[in-house]
Amino acid sequence: MLSKNQKNTSQIQMVSLDQLVPQDHLLRKIDKAVDFSFIYDLVEEKYSADTGRPSLDPVMLIKIPLIQYMYGIKSMRQTIKE
């Protein structure tokens, strides 16, 4: 059966994370209270500036397991989905 791609752009909607997460959410409070930028200083010498593949953000590599622990999420897929 031949099917054609029906381009329906009316379903595209721009959504901001700020709109999805309430202002008083626990993760917003943690983000305001904790300055995670110190992680960059800790790992800077471990990364090469000119060789290798682009890195993942080290702050995100700390925040994701923290979120998993806080919410009892065991899988990375579930964390991303939530």
CA triplet 69, 26, 77: central angle to 5 degrees? 40
Residue 68 has pLDDT above 90, yes or no: yes
Q: 16-35 in b/e burial notation, b at 16+ Cβ within 10 A?
A: eeeeeeeeeeeeeeeeeeee
Give domain limits for the chain.
54-82
State the pTM of this model.
0.68
Tokens of residue 50, six digits: 């000119």
* Least reliable range by pLDDT among 25-34, 35-44, 51-60: 51-60
